[in-house]
Structure 1
Amino acid sequence: MALFVPAENGPAHQVRNWKRTIGGAESNVACHLPALGVPSSWVSAVGNDPFGQALLDEIGAAGVDVGSVYVDPTRPTGLYVKESGAQGSPVRYYRTGSAASGMGPELLADLDLDGVRVIHLSGITPALSDSCLALVRAVLAAPRGETLVSFDVNFRPALWSGRDPHVLRELANAADIVLTGDDEALAVWGTGDPEELRKLLPGPRTLVVKHGERGVTLVEGDEPPVFAPALQVDVVEPVGAGDAFAAGFLAATLRGADPATRLRSGHLQAASTLRTHDDVGEPLPAAVITALLAADEQAWASARLTDEGVVMA
């Protein structure tokens, strides 16, 4: 979607200048991956309008293949407005009747998935329309071979008005990798506890439960849960950090990294986005990432990302 954020300080109703950028859970993940050394493609629909062209230009400029995006001749590109703040950012969606809401299973007909290692979905898409729900179900039901399907719950209550969010359990349980915040899991399924969620979702091999600024728990196969505390960050604005975490975690997973490294990789990518008003931040310097991935627990706990870079307390 096209995304507008304030270009000046002050209450949103008094802001006269807004910055137009891009946003959206799946496109955010796709944009992070090339910078992490993982080629990615974004498959969606945009309108035949200036916002749609801007999305194709900017997502493509991030190194993402946008060749399979459908340009809808009649429906507009969706957009949303974000009121930025360190403690939270109210979001106003304008996506009813958008090009993306018109997507359906027919979108899969022309896709070449040979060699694709991960397909990443989110719970936002099935909330948009019945046809979008059918599309997500079709992806999850298709033969996979060696391909993994990743599903980020991404529960947005405003998008589920008049629709039943309990279908998210069916969708998540059909994926290979599931990412969810404990708060959204509590809202949808009545629990944010990783072990209880594993009982509710026995299907996925990998379950990642995010606990906000406290950290993340990984439950995988029959192994004991692994908890990784989050990196301390002087937050500029939090929206988009979950998508950044997903990209860092998936990139490390594709490299065959151990559980602790995969979780820290997610935290480090999330930290870069927490330091910006945009939904996608620049990755931290390679030397910083290497040092923090190798840091012992005490050094990791004492590190803080600030305006001056990483500061060790």
Structure 2
Amino acid sequence: MPEIVSFGEPLVEFNAESVGGPRPGALYSTGFGGDSSNFAVAVSRLGGDAGYLSRVGDDGFGRMLLELWKTEGVDAGHVVVDPGHPTGVYFILRDGTTAEFVYRRCGSAAAQLTPDDVPPDWIENARLLHVTGITQAIGRGSCDAVFQAIDVARAAGTTVTYDPNIRPQLWPLHEARAVTRYTAGMCDVVMPNLEEGRLLTGREDPHDIADELLELGAPMAVLKMGSAGAVVATAREHVRVPALQVRATDPTGAGDTFNAAFAVALVEGRAVADAARFASAAASHVVQGLGAVNQIPRRRLADRLLGELTAADARAEP
């Protein structure tokens, strides 16, 4: 059984190859997305043992995703093929430096997830369970499935990491805040980005945000801040982790790779600060190209990037 399990909504991605918005003759690169699926692929590429739970449509897009997980070494044996609902897709449109995300996911197969789709033995035997706010937002049944999975994990002593991944287009902000704040208190590690942290807490300073997240009940908060690095907070200390400075092209999927790298490092027994540095280094590669999955690094590259980050940080010290 897999050591690291995630579940939620996978998507097929159509990424515009040129700027100017949708127009006749525009070309799109086909890829993959969905935060929980990105996480599973990243875990596997970074050397972890990944399992993924979801529903896909009985269509060409669903078959593409099943082939992706097979190719990437992700155990998708419990993914349900749903003949009555389609696989979700999304488009990335570009206008200069601005990217617009357009989703076609209403009534998708993944939105039909229920607690019955979550095998308890996978959660009980895993070292780590990763859940996200998007899985909670796409359907009532999938939200219930998240809570059941967390309950099973807590009873079994399985570490639970949680990315609120707030998407206002999926649910009203007041509902998103209420559900994600409650969920954060049930998990071992809560991992929002800076903007989400501000939405969740109403605070501006990263350290104040982290402290409030800890007050919700999570023993650890990891605040992802892009090129500014990350803050890792526990009741004992706050640690600021730098980022590798690169030219960013597309941030899609960088946070998911950060989460996955952090999870892999935790399962390997690394210290928390070291896990965050590894995660920051791995995420730096994702932003340098287009698409959520194409740029996810494999372990050898991620280790090299970690070495570069460590060297750059040493040079920056007074």
TM bucket normalised to smaller? 0.7 to 0.9
Residue 10 (str. 1) matches residue 4 (str. 2): no
Paired positions, count = 299
1:188 Cα deviation after fit:
3.2
The aligned residue for residue 212 of structure 1 is 226
Residue 26 (str. 1) matches residue 26 (str. 2): no
Distance in 2, matches of 1:16 and 1:153, equals 34
Distance in 2, matches of 1:229 and 1:162, equals 30
1:40 Cα deviation after fit:
0.1
1:136 Cα deviation after fit:
1.1
Return 45-54 or 228-237, whichever deviates more.
Answer: 228-237
The aligned residue for residue 299 of structure 1 is 315
The aligned residue for residue 307 of structure 1 is none
Bigger relative contact order, structure 1 or 2, given CA contacts below 8 A and separation 6+? 2
Distance in 2, matches of 1:110 and 1:261, equals 31
Instruction: Flag the 1:290–1:22 CA change in 2: closer, same or farther, 3 A.
Output: closer
What code does the residue aligned with 2:273 have?
Answer: A
Tell me the secondary structure at the aligned position of residue 46 of structure 1: strand
Return 138-147 or 172-181, whichever deviates more.
Answer: 138-147
1:195 Cα deviation after fit:
3.5
Return 63-72 or 140-149, whichever deviates more.
Answer: 140-149
Distance in 1, matches of 2:315 and 2:100, equals 34
| 1:263-309: CA deviation from partner (whole Å, max 9, x where unpaired) | 111111111111120202142626623523643624378xxxxxxxx
Residue 266 (str. 1) matches residue 261 (str. 2): no
What code does the residue aligned with 2:115 have?
Answer: P
Tell me the secondary structure at the aligned position of residue 132 of structure 1: helix
1:215 Cα deviation after fit:
1.4
Tell me the secondary structure at the aligned position of residue 54 of structure 1: helix
The aligned residue for residue 45 of structure 1 is 55
What code does the residue aligned with 1:108 have?
Answer: V
The normalised TM-score by structure 1 is: 0.88
Instruction: Flag the 1:11–1:32 CA change in 2: closer, same or farther, 3 A.
Output: same
The aligned residue for residue 107 of structure 2 is 97
What code does the residue aligned with 2:224 have?
Answer: K
Tell me the secondary structure at the aligned position of residue 238 of structure 1: coil
Q: Say whether the 8 Å CA contact 1:34–1:64 is kept in structure 2.
A: yes
Residue 181 (str. 1) matches residue 193 (str. 2): yes
Q: Say whether the 8 Å CA contact 1:247–1:269 is kept in structure 2.
A: no
Return 76-85 or 54-63, whichever deviates more.
Answer: 76-85
Q: Any gaps of 5 or more consecutive residues in structure 2?
A: 1-10
Residue 81 (str. 1) matches residue 95 (str. 2): no
What code does the residue aligned with 1:252 have?
Answer: A
Q: Say whether the 8 Å CA contact 1:261–1:293 is kept in structure 2.
A: no
TM superposition outliers: structure 1 runs of 4+ over 6 Å: none
Q: Where do residues 243-262 of structure 1 align in structure 2 (5 Å cutoff)?
A: 243-262=256-275
1:173 Cα deviation after fit:
1.1
The structure whose residues are more often helix, as a share, is 2
Return 26-35 or 203-212, whichever deviates more.
Answer: 203-212
1:197 Cα deviation after fit:
3.9
1:144 Cα deviation after fit:
3.6
1:111 Cα deviation after fit:
5.0
Tell me the secondary structure at the aligned position of residue 124 of structure 1: helix
Distance in 1, matches of 2:86 and 2:252, equals 24
Distance in 1, matches of 2:207 and 2:281, equals 22
The aligned residue for residue 155 of structure 1 is 166
1:167 Cα deviation after fit:
1.0
Instruction: Flag the 1:272–1:132 CA change in 2: closer, same or farther, 3 A.
Output: same
Tell me the secondary structure at the aligned position of residue 233 of structure 1: coil
Q: Say whether the 8 Å CA contact 2:159–2:188 is kept in structure 1.
A: yes
Residue 242 (str. 1) matches residue 251 (str. 2): no
Instruction: Flag the 1:87–1:105 CA change in 2: closer, same or farther, 3 A.
Output: same
Instruction: Flag the 1:191–1:117 CA change in 2: closer, same or farther, 3 A.
Output: same
Tell me the secondary structure at the aligned position of residue 22 of structure 2: helix
Instruction: Flag the 1:120–1:300 CA change in 2: closer, same or farther, 3 A.
Output: farther
Q: Any gaps of 5 or more consecutive residues in structure 1?
A: 302-313
The aligned residue for residue 310 of structure 1 is none
Instruction: Flag the 1:86–1:210 CA change in 2: closer, same or farther, 3 A.
Output: farther
The Cα RMSD (Å) is 2.2
Distance in 2, matches of 1:27 and 1:109, equals 17
Instruction: Flag the 1:163–1:34 CA change in 2: closer, same or farther, 3 A.
Output: same
